């Protein structure tokens, strides 16, 4: 009985020893990373390593499950994993201190290795992991004696409690035991409280410091974008039927976000440069000011993620302001043999677009503005690519710093390496936004069935709705500023009977082609199939 008690107590003390040491290590790592750069934080580095190592099916599953929340979920998972390791490590370290020291050194090595193998890494990125490991080991060494003393005196007391005391010696002896037991306990808890304080302060303080040191938002706020000379206005109320609750132009804060950047790249527009090179006659290097000095155009363009499921929300329409990419490529004299334009972001992401598509006359942009403001940092500040009609993974490189004219044969972009289709034209699709799936409608009352349909750069000519496997009915369509945006639609419906009803939607493109009705997963070239919702009439 006592044995179980003392083992449990030792495990608790050991777990605390491990957690506190790991906490100090992580905190120190965050603080030092603030002086190197956020991407060098051991936790972020391990997270990025994890994303690189994650098999493609698991990545797809995570995007499907968590969508835009995939990053907080991943970080929580990493913290949980570190905590479990720290508990185990601490329990063993209590028996043998060297075990804990080696364990923390190994954790630091994993952090350092991750930082040094990341895309677009620098050798200084290893420093936070090193510093973290050193501080973690120091914390472990300082706390170890106190933890051991605490456990030892607790065990001694347990043993003492089990032994009947001689009447004459019992009292003084017992109180002496108790007071030394309390002193040992206090010493460990005091040390632990100091370690916890250091961990919390350096951890949260380091994160805050990272934000103040590397925040592009001040630079972004200081920018006034030049007006676009050539604008397709989107103010027409006929674009917005106002029935679905989703506006024609989606505010940036509601715009879906998909990328692999655990810490959002913070680029200084004063230092930003874009190099256009490779199979070109004249290499070009552009600064941000040079880009802004060029004629800007503004267009509503609907971005779509290839991972979007039927009925999914990884799609958004915004006003993008920027420079025509085709003009720049003509100036550079891009070779007719270069069938791929490989864009690279500051964090090492690579995105390859078909040159022929980018240059076929559509409004392919090096975008600097979104909805009238400089690009938000999450959406690629200071400059990103946008190509109407191509899924984001083959066109929409955020935080772009390099554009190489090359061939698909010579170079493979990130997602294509993971098995996604090399060419990614957006597929004709439609979605029901209202009534929502499992929503409730009123019998005998007219309700709008409404949503969006899209086939960027081709256009949508017709949307049809089917209720309870009846006839397909033609929906009313909103007008659109161009074929590059989604198109709203609405059909009024009066449910006649109480009970469940199913509603499906399908679209026809401008060329008369019907939406593909066969169910296909997003991988490898975008989902197909009809969106169907079930509602209940009461």
Ligand X SMILES: Nc1nc2c(c(=O)[nH]1)N[C@H]1C(S)=C(S)[C@@H](COP(=O)(O)O)O[C@H]1N2
In 3D, which of 427, 437, 398 has the Cα closest to residue 414? 398
Q: Which stretch binds ligand X (CB under 6 A): 26-34, 397-405, 464-472, 475-483?
A: 397-405
What is the C-alpha separation between 334 and 405, in angstroms, rounded?
A: 7
For Mo ion, which is the closer residue by CB, 188 or 523? 523
Q: By CB under 6 A, is residue 41 in contact with ligand X?
A: no
Contact pattern for ligand X over residues 236 through 255, marking x by CB under 6 A:
-------------------x
> Smaller CB distance to ligand X: residue 220 or 257?
257
Q: Does 256 bind ligand X (CB under 6 A)?
A: yes
Dihedral sign, CA of 410, 365, 37, 82? negative
Which residues in the 277-316 window bind ligand X by CB under 6 A? 303, 305
| 345 belongs to the binding site for ligand X (CB under 6 A) | yes
Closer residue to ligand X (CB): 292 or 426: 426
Residue 393 touching Mo ion (CB under 5 A):
yes
The residue among 103 and 382 lying less far from ligand X, judged by its C-beta, is: 382
Partner in contact with 379, chosen from Mo ion, ligand X, none, beta carbon below 5 to 8 Å by kind: ligand X
Stretch that binds Mo ion, among 16-24, 98-106, 220-228, 251-259 (CB under 5 A): 251-259
Q: How many CB atoms lie within 10 A of CB 55?
A: 9
Residue from 354, 392, 459, 481 that binds Mo ion (CB under 5 A)? 392
> How buried is residue 167: exposed, middle or buried, by Cβ count under 10 Å (0-12/13-18/19+)?
exposed
Q: Which is nearer to Mo ion, 389 or 392 (CB)?
A: 392
Q: Is 526 in the site for ligand X (CB under 6 A)?
A: no
Taking the C-alpha atoms of residue 289 and residue 297, their distance in angstroms, rounded to an integer, is: 16
3-state class (DSSP) for residue 464: strand
Residues in region 295-324 near Mo ion by CB under 5 A: 305
Q: How far is CA 63 from CA 70, 92, 284, 305, 392, in A?
A: 6, 37, 36, 11, 14
Residues 248, 272, 381, 399: which binds ligand X (CB under 6 A)?
399
In which residue are the tokens 């956020």 written? Answer: 38
Kindly indicate which of the ranges 85-93, 121-129, 392-400, 479-487 contains the residues binding ligand X, using the contact rule CB under 6 A: 392-400
Q: What is the helix (H) or strand (E) element at residue 155, kind and residue range?
A: helix 127-162
Cα separation, 495 vs 50, whole angstroms:
50
Q: Is 258 in the site for Mo ion (CB under 5 A)?
A: yes
Rounded least distance, CB 315 to ligand X, Å:
9
Query: With contact defined as beta carbons under 8 Å apart, do 477 and 507 qualify?
Result: no
239 binds, among Mo ion, ligand X, none (CB under 5 to 8 A by kind): none
Q: How far is the CB of 27 from ligand X (least distance, A)?
A: 29
Residue number of the CB atom closest to Mo ion: 305
Q: Considering the rule CB under 6 A, would residue 393 count as an interface residue with ligand X?
A: yes
Sheet holding 429-434, edge to edge: 429-434, 447-454, 487-493, 476-477
Q: Which listed option, Mo ion, ligand X, none, makes contact with residue 345 (CB within 5 to 8 Å by class)?
A: ligand X
Sign of CA dihedral 409, 412, 413, 417: positive
From candidates 150, 259, 433, 484, binder to ligand X by CB under 6 A = 259
Residues 490 and 477 sit within 8 Å (Cβ to Cβ):
no
Assess contact for 523 and 419: CB atoms under 8 A: yes
Residue 257 engages ligand X in binding (rule: CB under 6 A): yes
* Nearest CB to ligand X, comparing residues 411 and 473: 411
d(CA 143, CA 156): 20
User: Binds 349, which of ligand X, Mo ion, none (CB < 5 to 8 A, cut-off by type)?
Assistant: ligand X
Q: Is the Cβ–Cβ distance between 117 and 40 less than 8 Å?
A: no
Task: Reduce the secondary structure of 267-332 to three states and give it as a string.
Answer: CCCCCCEEEEEECECCCEEEEHHHHHCCCCEEEEEEEECCCCCCCCCCEEEEEEEEEEHHHHHHHH
Segment near ligand X (CB under 6 A); pick from 98-106, 128-136, 214-222, 393-401: 393-401
Which residues are near ligand X by CB under 6 A?
255-261, 303, 305, 345, 347, 349, 351, 379, 392-393, 396-399
Which residues are near Mo ion by CB under 5 A?
258, 305, 392-393
């Amino acid at each position: 009985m006592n044995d179980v008690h003392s083992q449990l107590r030792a495990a608790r003390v050991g777990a605390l020893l491990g957690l506190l040491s790991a906490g100090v290590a992580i905190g120190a790592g965050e603080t030092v990373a603030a002086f190197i750069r956020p991407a060098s934080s051991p936790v972020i580095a391990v997270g990025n390593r994890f994303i690189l190592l994650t098999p493609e099916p698991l990545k797809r599953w995570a995007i499907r499950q968590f969508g835009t929340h995939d990053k907080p979920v991943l970080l929580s998972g990493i913290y949980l994993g570190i905590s479990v390791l720290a508990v185990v490590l601490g329990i063993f370290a209590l028996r043998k201190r060297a075990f804990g020291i080696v364990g923390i050194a190994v954790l630091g090595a994993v952090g350092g290795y991750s930082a040094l193998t990341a895309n677009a890494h620098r050798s200084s990125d290893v420093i936070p992991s090193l510093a973290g490991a050193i501080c973690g080991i120091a914390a472990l060494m300082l706390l170890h004696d106190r933890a051991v003393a605490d456990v030892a005196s607790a065990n001694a007391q347990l043993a003492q409690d089990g032994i009947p005391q001689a009447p004459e010696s019992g009292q003084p002896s017992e109180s002496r035991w108790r007071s030394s037991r309390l002193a040992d306990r206090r010493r460990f808890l005091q040390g632990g409280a100091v370690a916890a304080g250091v961990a919390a302060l350096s951890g949260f303080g380091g994160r805050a410091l990272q934000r103040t040191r590397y925040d592009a938002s001040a630079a972004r706020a200081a920018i006034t974008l030049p007006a676009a000379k050539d604008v397709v206005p989107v103010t027409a109320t006929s674009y917005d039927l106002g029935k679905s609750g989703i506006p024609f132009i989606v505010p940036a804060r509601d715009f879906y976000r998909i990328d692999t950047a655990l810490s959002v790249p913070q680029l200084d527009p004063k230092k930003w440069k874009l190099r256009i090179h490779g199979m070109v006659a004249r290499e070009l290097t552009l600064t941000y000011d040079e880009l802004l000095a060029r004629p800007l155009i503004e267009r509503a363009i609907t971005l779509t993620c290839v991972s979007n499921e039927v009925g999914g929300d990884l799609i958004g329409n915004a006003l993008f302001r920027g420079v025509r990419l085709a003009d720049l490529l003509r100036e550079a004299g891009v070779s007719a043999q270069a069938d791929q334009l490989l864009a690279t972001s500051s964090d090492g992401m690579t995105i390859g677009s078909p040159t022929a598509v980018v240059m076929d006359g559509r409004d392919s942009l090096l975008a600097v503005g979104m909805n009238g403001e400089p690009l938000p940092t999450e959406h690629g500040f200071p400059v990103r690519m946008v190509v109407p009609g191509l899924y984001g993974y083959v066109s929409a490189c955020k935080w772009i710093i390099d554009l190489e004219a090359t061939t698909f044969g010579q170079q493979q972009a990130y997602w294509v390496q993971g098995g996604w289709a090399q060419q990614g034209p957006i597929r004709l699709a439609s979605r029901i936004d209202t009534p929502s799936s499992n929503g409730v409608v009123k019998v005998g009352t007219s309700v709008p069935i409404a949503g969006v349909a899209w086939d960027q750069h081709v256009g949508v000519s017709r949307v049809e709705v089917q209720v309870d496997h009846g006839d397909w009915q033609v929906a009313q369509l909103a007008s659109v500023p161009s074929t590059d945006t989604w198109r709203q639609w609405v059909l009024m419906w009066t449910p006649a009977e109480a009970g469940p009803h199913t509603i499906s939607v399908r679209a026809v493109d401008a060329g008369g082609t019907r939406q593909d009705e066969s169910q296909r997963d997003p991988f490898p070239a975008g989902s197909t199939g009809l969106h169907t919702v079930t509602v209940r009439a009461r």
